[in-house]
Amino acid sequence: MTDKFWYNVARTFIKAGVFPVPISDTLFELLQALVTEEQANFILLYKKPSMTLEEIKQKIDMEEQNIIKMLNTLMYNGIIVGTRSKSTGVMVYRLMGLWRGIFEYTFLRGGSTEREKNLAVLFEKLFGEISEATQRNYGSIINVFKELPPTDRTLPVEQEIEVGIDTVIPFEEIKKYIEEYDDIALVNCYCRHEKELVNDPCKLGASKNNCFLIDKSAQYGIEQGFGRRVSKEEAIKIMREAEDEGLVHKVFHVHSDTNRGIEAICNCCKCCCGVINMYYRGAAPIHTMSSYLANVDEDSCIGCGTCVEMCPMETIDLENSIAHVNKDKCIGCGVCAHHCPEEAIQLVRIGPRHVFIPPKKVEIE
């Protein structure tokens, strides 16, 4: 196939996501490692991100059984996600974007075959190119990032949360939030696993088995073998263990729309998390929803530096042996409060609010 063909395939995947990705030879190589030419031709049907079987049948001259076979293969590989509409009960097949989407599903099962190692290397190379593109066009691309929706919401440790930007639900703890959903699937942390595959393991030594698919995404994930069903009690226990490891709770919404239902809860470290790591490598901003800020009780703070060490955003400094929080960079995750030995830090509800932190300025070769 020609470069024009793979260019069109690349554009189709990019349009299915929300994050800008530069089209390059690396992207072509990655796509060719992810899908066959036959599958790529099928993917070109997606002029919109989601279609039903009937809509697909109208666009392609293929027997229904062969369409279903194609869809099942692409679903197993995490290229397409199939879930039933809650309103109609009809299966809807959604094409995943590259990141977030296909990147995550590629590493969810925790496999370490040569194919997965090769894909990890290609994704890392692509992320490097994204970083370079951002740094070379920093001024103009920041405005593009500002127009994109928040990628996630940050859930503080055992604190109140909100859903969406304008709609606030009654105060409840994270465990109560989990208890709202009947379908929960435990999956590998794809970010930490991908980093292991490129010999750059988590600096915290955090567990990889502590991320969750929720609701319809959990049903899909269980059916396709991406994860296993867990009880609400087990999920809450794992969340508590993640807190103790210094990980940040993040909620991801369908289509990255904070007004829609959630599809995943992740427990993130700054060295591996796709979102946080892309910030540190200068590729993308932190753009999240949060309702909290960390507040230091100066009379109780002894200047031990635990919060400085644990903060995933490096937003706390010691001044005259007292912790001070840069509120513009605080994402309200609560890691500092959870780990403060003197209980000198509390989370104060001030939101909901957008937190937008431009990507770090880094040197590029």
* pLDDT value at residue 162: 33
Residue 281 contacts residue 362 (beta carbons within 8 Å): yes
Unique residue bearing structure tokens 């289509």: 255
Reply yes or no on whether the pLDDT at 155 is more than 50: no
* pLDDT value at residue 292: 82
Provide the residue type at 194 as one letter.
E
Q: Into which CATH architecture does domain 3-140 fall?
A: Orthogonal Bundle (1.10)
Binned at pLDDT 50, 70 and 90, residue 20 comes out as: confident
Nearest to 270 by CA among 200, 193, 202: 202
Q: How many CB atoms are closer than 10 A to CB 166?
A: 9
Binned at pLDDT 50, 70 and 90, residue 40 comes out as: very high
Calculate the alpha carbon distances from 207 to 78, 153, 242 in Å: 23, 22, 8
Q: What is the mean pLDDT of residues 162-169?
A: 26
Reply yes or no on whether the pLDDT at 166 is more than 90: no
Q: What is the mean pLDDT of the chain?
A: 86
Q: What is the mean pLDDT of residues 142-161?
A: 58
Q: Under 8 Å CB-to-CB from 84, ≥6 apart: which residues?
A: 90, 91, 92, 216
pLDDT digits (tens, 9 = 90+) for 96-129: 999 878 999 999 999 999 999 999 999 999 999 9
Reply yes or no on whether the pLDDT at 170 is more than 60: no
Reply yes or no on whether the pLDDT at 171 is more than 50: no
CA dihedral 109, 110, 115, 120 (to 10 degrees): 110
Share of the chain above pLDDT 90, in %: 61
Looking at the chain, the domain(s) classified CATH 3.30.70.20 span 141-357
pLDDT digits (tens, 9 = 90+) for 77-103: 999 999 888 788 899 999 999 987 899
Residue 295 DSSP SS3? strand
Beta-sheet strands, E only, within the chain:
50-52, 80-84, 91-95, 152-155, 184-187, 211-214, 228-229, 248-253, 262-268, 286-296, 316-319, 322-325, 345-357
Residue 161 CA from chain centroid, whole number: 18
Reply yes or no on whether the pLDDT at 154 is more than 90: no
Share of the chain above pLDDT 70, in %: 89
Q: Into which CATH architecture does domain 141-357 fall?
A: 2-Layer Sandwich (3.30)
Q: What is the mean pLDDT of residues 323-352?
A: 90
Residue 92 contacts residue 83 (beta carbons within 8 Å): yes
Binned at pLDDT 50, 70 and 90, residue 163 comes out as: very low
| Six token digits for residue 92 | 């809807």
Looking at the chain, the domain(s) classified CATH 1.10.10.10 span 3-140
Q: What is the mean pLDDT of residues 300-314?
A: 96
101-110, 274-283, 345-354: which has the minimum mean pLDDT? 345-354
* pLDDT value at residue 145: 79
